[in-house]
């Protein structure tokens, strides 16, 4: 779709900038979920068309941090976000081990794992270009409502709404979705240089309509804190915008 092609243009530009060297590089911030699948497929197709030397340099320089990961799933579990990212980007692009950074969902001390993930991101200078989806209750990452803008990387309890929304990978059973996760907070998300909010599908129309009708942030809708960011782009299809255009 045109949305994916144009957004891939933006991501390709960011990745080419990263080839200029560490001084120009800030990592990509990546998201998971069905919304991202066609985008990542289009990105892989684009990047595999690069000259072999450029592609090899991209593999060496790749650095990305995912927003979140479930607690309690093994890295090899097909329902884990690490497995998702390996399937979507890691294996198709032959990225080296460690290029795709995610929180440690198997850590014995989850709170310590969240701090470790936050520190690793800070060492890289924070996010350059951040991809975001929009949860049906207004969450970004796993920042469930209510959520203030100063909330940082941490362990969170997932809401019933989020577990219902994510039940597809768990045989449709919300009770099988893990109850906790590690997520980057609004603090890290809002520190990104650029943010791309990707919203598709009619099921997202009600929450996107609420978001677009707001003129100031409200902790009850965590995505509304994006209103305070100077460089946010909304990428939405006609279905997601269907209630906003009435």
Please pick, among 18, 69, 139, 196, the residue that the annotation labels catalytic: 139
Please pick, among 18, 69, 104, 144, the residue that the annotation labels catalytic: 144
Phi and psi of 218, rounded to 5°?
A: -140, 125
Q: Which residue has the tokens 């009850």?
A: 220
Annotated active-site residue 160? The verdict is no
Annotated active-site residue 229? The verdict is no
Please pick, among 137, 143, 166, 196, the residue that the annotation labels catalytic: 137
Annotated active-site residue 104? The verdict is no
Annotated active-site residue 137? The verdict is yes
Nearby residues of 87 by Cβ (< 8 Å), 6 or more positions away:
none
Active site residues: 68, 137, 139, 144
């Amino acid at each position: 779709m045109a949305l994916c092609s144009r957004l891939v243009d933006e991501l390709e530009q960011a990745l080419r900038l990263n080839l200029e060297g560490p001084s120009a590089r800030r990592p990509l911030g990546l998201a998971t979920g069905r919304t991202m699948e066609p985008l990542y497929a289009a990105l892989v197709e684009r990047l595999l068309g690069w000259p072999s030397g450029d592609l090899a340099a991209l593999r060496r320089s790749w650095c990305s941090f995912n927003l979140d990961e479930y607690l309690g799933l093994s890295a090899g579990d097909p329902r884990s976000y690490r497995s998702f990212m390996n399937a979507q980007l890691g294996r198709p692009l032959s990225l080296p081990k460690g290029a795709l950074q995610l929180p440690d969902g198997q850590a014995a001390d989850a709170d310590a794992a969240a701090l470790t993930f936050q520190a690793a991101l800070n060492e890289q200078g924070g996010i350059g270009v951040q991809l975001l989806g929009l949860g049906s209750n207004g969450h970004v990452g796993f920042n469930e409502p209510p959520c203030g803008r100063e909330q940082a990387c941490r362990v969170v309890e997932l809401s019933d709404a989020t577990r219902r929304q994510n039940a597809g990978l768990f045989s449709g059973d919300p009770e099988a979705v893990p109850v906790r996760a590690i997520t980057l907070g609004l603090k890290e998300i809002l520190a990104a240089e650029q943010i791309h909010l990707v919203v598709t599908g009619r099921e997202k129309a009600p929450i996107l309509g609420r978001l677009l009708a707001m003129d100031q942030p409200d902790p009850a809708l965590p995505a509304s804190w994006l209103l305070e960011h100077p460089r946010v782009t909304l990428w939405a299809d006609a279905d997601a915008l269907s209630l906003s255009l009435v």
